[in-house]
Amino acid sequence: MKILTVVGARPQFVKAAAVSRVLRARHQEVLVHTGQHYDKNMSDIFFDELGIPKPDYNLGVGSGSHARQTADMLVGIEELLEKESPDAILVYGDTNSTLAGALAASKIHIPVAHVEAGLRSFNKRMPEEQNRVVTDHLSDVLFAPTQTAVDNLTREGITRNVFNVGDVMCDAVLHYAREIDKQTPDYYFARSRRLLGEGAMPQRWYLATIHRAENTDTPEKVYQVLSAFEELPCPVIFPVHPRTAPLVRQACEQHAFTNTVIIEPVGYIDMLFYTKNAVKVVTDSGGLQKEAYILHTPCVTVRDQTEWVETLAGNHNILCKPTREDILDKVLHTAVDESAYGKPYGNGDAARQITEKLTGALDA
């Protein structure tokens, strides 16, 4: 069976690494990189360090408006589908790459399989929410990461070929966390000093990733976040998204902020090291909330809602407004109830289940 897989953003590379290891033992996979994340530090390093097979095709779409980016992907993916004639297309998550893959395949009647189906923030202003809802309603096989996701799909009338397989990110986090444990902290400190500067590696730190437009599209919003970081008792390591880097650097220079350590985007394994050993994570990323939860690192999410509602149990993750006062309050004064911790994302065998269920659904 031939499966054409579409990826285009950092979290999708990680998910594809987990699934491809299992999928390729039984099927032929054609891997397509849309180029949605085109910065070398945001893309190439992931393929190198995670052992992801090099893409068979790279569309090189790059940045642009949502409409232009999605349209360019649609054209490129449709051409590849007609050329390769796969038995199904496999898409991940909720990016423009996900939507483009699902649309292109459904238009020419190629079955769509969606990994991470059923997530809902119930905020339709989010492009990701629009992408995931449309993709789910176009999909023929839906791999939900949690029972909550299954329930969301049921409420929308989607019940056929829906499988709760657990979360492939859990597969990846558990696999690579074991690799981290094989090295001493000094090994990662040495790697980090190339980014942080000689002698600059703190022994305790917070980890931050803030990139969503609603938190970074004006200097005042960036100031609110960074002014909160300035008052935290440990340095804040902040791998900055290329889109937001100019505003972040400008704010640090204008206001003489010194507690935020700005670094370039790092590879997945280094990011797991930072996450696993952080005092707390502050983020507006979807994936990092979940990775922090799996690694038992408390998280503050600078958003009004989260798709990963399971992480909120016991304040392992807590929602926060993008203001200096609320960030400080949530980071410094939120107590975590360890007794509420569970395993809502499975035991790390989602990739195996996806391969088996996909085979069965397509053969039926």
Residue 211 appears among annotated catalytic residues: yes
Torsion on CA atoms 29, 34, 37, 39, rounded to nearest 10: 100
- Cα 354–Cα 39–Cα 182 angle in degrees, nearest 5: 60
Q: How far apart are CA 266 and CA 39, in angstroms?
A: 11
Torsion on CA atoms 297, 278, 249, 264, rounded to nearest 10: -90
DSSP designation for 19: H
CA 338 to chain centre: 25
Strand (E) or helix (H) holding 261 = strand 260-263
Q: How far apart are CA 50 and CA 243, in angstroms?
A: 24
Residue 128 has which token pair?
Answer: 């990701």
Q: Phi and psi dihedrals of 260, rounded to 5? A: -95, 125
Crossing angle (nearest 10°) for helices 10-23 and 168-180: 90
Given 109, 137, 211, 255, which residue is catalytic? 211
Contact 237, 274 (CB under 8 A): yes
DSSP designation for 27: S
SS3 (DSSP) at 144 = strand
Contact 270, 240 (CB under 8 A): no
Q: How far apart are CA 353 and CA 270, in angstroms?
A: 28
Q: How far apart are CA 254 and CA 23, in angstroms?
A: 50
Which residue shows structure tokens 């690799």? 179
Cα–Cα nearest to 229, from 252, 249, 245, 212: 252
Residues in the chain: 364
Report DSSP letters for 169-190, one per residue. HHHHHHHHHHHHTTS-HHHHHH
CA 342 to chain centre: 21
* Residues classed as catalytic: 211
